[in-house]
Structure 1
């Protein structure tokens, strides 16, 4: 059976979002050491749903006119099969482009997150960040 992937956009002040971050904080810190949620930093906040189950959380902000910086790209333990990443950066590519983003940048906060970024097509930049250029797919 093919899984159904969806996003559920939430406001930065959403109470479920705050509780989710609190509940998963120890696990989030393994992949994003020092992560602290700042409501004002989020241009984009959405849960990734797989068959209507919360599989992960994506938080990002507009860093430049056409650059989106990932603040958090967290996936729960039972969904760590790279399908969420492929969904975000392949199936949502045109949505990001429609929002004016041409490039996504992220910091590799841990070895596991570094491996994930490389696997889903991010390239290391001279400044040590990782970037993925978004191209329109027809």
Structure 2
């Protein structure tokens, strides 16, 4: 029976190493380390127990740093002549297509295009086009996997509402047929419309004021 505890701990630690999010990696690895420590003491292997207690403490230390770190977020305008826009989209194209498979907007066609910076690091991109006089259609809101903890999204949709209203937009609109993308939009405050579109995509909107 005890060997199953060891198997469980091994699987959990293995799963933690597959996480692209540092926060998820630390949380899952912490659970695996604690399970391994319990297993070690149960089978009378003190070194295994002590080693994994140490690993657990290390995970707790870094989780504490993550949750107490002060991040600085910025929206940096995308230049119409930049080559980095296409490079970024090409580099992350496979991951972007998982959530927004029909995204294909040239920089010249975008009315709003910004790099999403976190502590001066470009971690994502926001692209939108004018849908109506006061409505911005969100074509792309993408953050690379290691920084996908919703902080960047909350910054854009909560802290930067005045940024959009100052440009004349009082409403944000987004269409999606991806369940994970839809969950994200709802978490960011978007409301799902009861009306379906001709492309079988769901409509989401966010009123800014």
2:170 maps to which residue? 102
Matching of residue 88 in structure 1 with residue 156 in structure 2: yes
Match of 1:63 in 2: 131
Q: Does structure 1 residue 120 correspond to structure 2 residue 120?
A: no
CA–CA distance in structure 1, aligned partners of residues 81 and 180 of structure 2: 29
Q: What is the CA-CA distance between 1:111 and the residue it aligns to?
A: 1.1
- Confirm or deny that 1:32 pairs with 2:106: no
Structure (1/2) with the larger helix percentage: 2
In structure 2, how many angstroms separate the alpha carbons of the residues matched to 1:49 and 1:109?
A: 27
SS at match of 1:107: strand
Structure 2: 5+ residue runs without aligned partners? 1-68, 197-201
* Partner residue, 2:113: 45
Taking structure 2 as the reference length, what is the TM-score of the superposition?
0.62
State the aligned residue count. Answer: 135
Tell me the distance in 1 between the aligned counterparts of 2:189 and 2:177: 17
Give the Cα separation in 1 of the matches to 2:108 and 2:204. 23
1:78 paired residue number = 146
Normalized per residue, the structure richer in strand is 1
Deviation at 1:47, TM superposition (A): 0.7
RMSD: 1.2
SS at match of 2:71: coil
1:132 equivalenced with 2:206 (yes/no): yes
Equivalents in 2 of 1:109, 1:84: separation in Å? 22
Aligned equivalents of 1:65 and 1:96: distance in 2?
13
Question: How far did 1:39 drift?
Answer: 2.9
- Report which of the two structures shows the higher radius of gyration computed on alpha carbons: 2
CA contact (8 A) 2:85 2:107 kept: no
Instruction: Report the 3-state secondary structure (helix = DSSP H, G, I; strand = E; otherwise coil) of the residue aligned with 1:115.
Output: helix
Whole-Å separation in 2 of the counterparts to 1:118 and 1:8: 25
Could you tell me which runs of 5 or more consecutive residues in structure 1 were left unpaired when the two chains were aligned.
Answer: none
Q: CA deviation at 1:19?
A: 0.4
Aligned residues of 1:12 and 1:45 also touching (Cα < 8 A): no
